[in-house]
Amino acid sequence: MSSNKPVIDFYFDFSSPYGYLASTRIDALAARHNRRVTWRPILLGPMFKAAGTAPLTNVPLKGPYSVRDFLRTSRFLKIPYTQPAAFPIGTQNAARVFYWLSDRDETKARQFARACYHTYFAEGVDISPAEKVADIAARLGEERSAVLAAIADPLVKERLKNEVDAALARGVFGSPYLIVDGEPFWGNDRLDQVEAWIETGGF
């Protein structure tokens, strides 16, 4: 494994369109510079509370523009995108299963994350129900019953809560949010700066 490569911390909410767009680009970016990416799903709800903000699409004026921007930016980047009918959604089930998988198999956890994002934002299918999350994990070879048990497991819930608290403590307030060598970058829009930062050692 490549565990001694320097890390890019990649924070995202499974309900975040710009998190999804970044998720399709970040591993290739890291590979170009011999970095590895630590995927860290978080929940935006507690962060919106801390920052006193709201989901973009709930904001007057900004809301309608945002959906237009999700669609247009995905076309600009040539990434498949469908605005989900259910939006935004609670993503604690997907995030719990991610960390549960991650403790055993980081590669599979990442495949699971990509599959969740693809199901929600490329196919437009609501991934908030535990049953749907179990379907996605089952296609990667997991037992449905074990996945459903993990979702309800107090230790797994606690694990996710700790991850969200740790992210908040690092100043994470949005999705995607990347930290590279101590430098924070917010937004899919900042991947160009992330890459330049790595190339130049900071600017």
Question: Between residues 66 and 93, which has the closer beta carbon with respect to its own copies?
Answer: 66
Strand 36-41 relative to strand 7-12, pairing? parallel
Please, which residues bridge with residue 41 across strands?
12
Q: Which stretch binds its own copies (CB under 8 A): 2-10, 85-93, 139-147, 180-188?
A: 180-188
Q: Is 201 in the site for its own copies (CB under 8 A)?
A: no
How many residues touch its own copies (CB under 8 A)? Answer: 29
Tokens describing residue 169: 């403590």
Q: Is 171 in the site for its own copies (CB under 8 A)?
A: yes
State the residue for tokens 């998988």: 101
Could you give the string, one character per residue 42-81, with x where binding to its own copies holds by CB under 8 A and - elsewhere? -----x--xxxx-----xxxx-xx--xx--xx-xx-----
C-beta separation of 203 from 187 below 8 A? no
The gap between the terminal CA atoms of the chain, to the nearest Å, is 30
C-beta separation of 47 from 78 below 8 A? no
Q: Which stretch binds its own copies (CB under 8 A): 26-34, 138-146, 158-166, 191-199?
A: 191-199
Q: Is 154 in the site for its own copies (CB under 8 A)?
A: no
Question: Between residues 75 and 139, which has the closer beta carbon with respect to its own copies?
Answer: 75
C-beta separation of 13 from 87 below 8 A? no
Burial class (CB in 10 A: 0-12, 13-18, 19+), 76: exposed
Point out which residues bind its own copies (CB under 8 A): 47, 50-53, 59-62, 64-65, 68-69, 72-73, 75-76, 171, 173-174, 184, 186-187, 189-190, 192-193, 196, 203
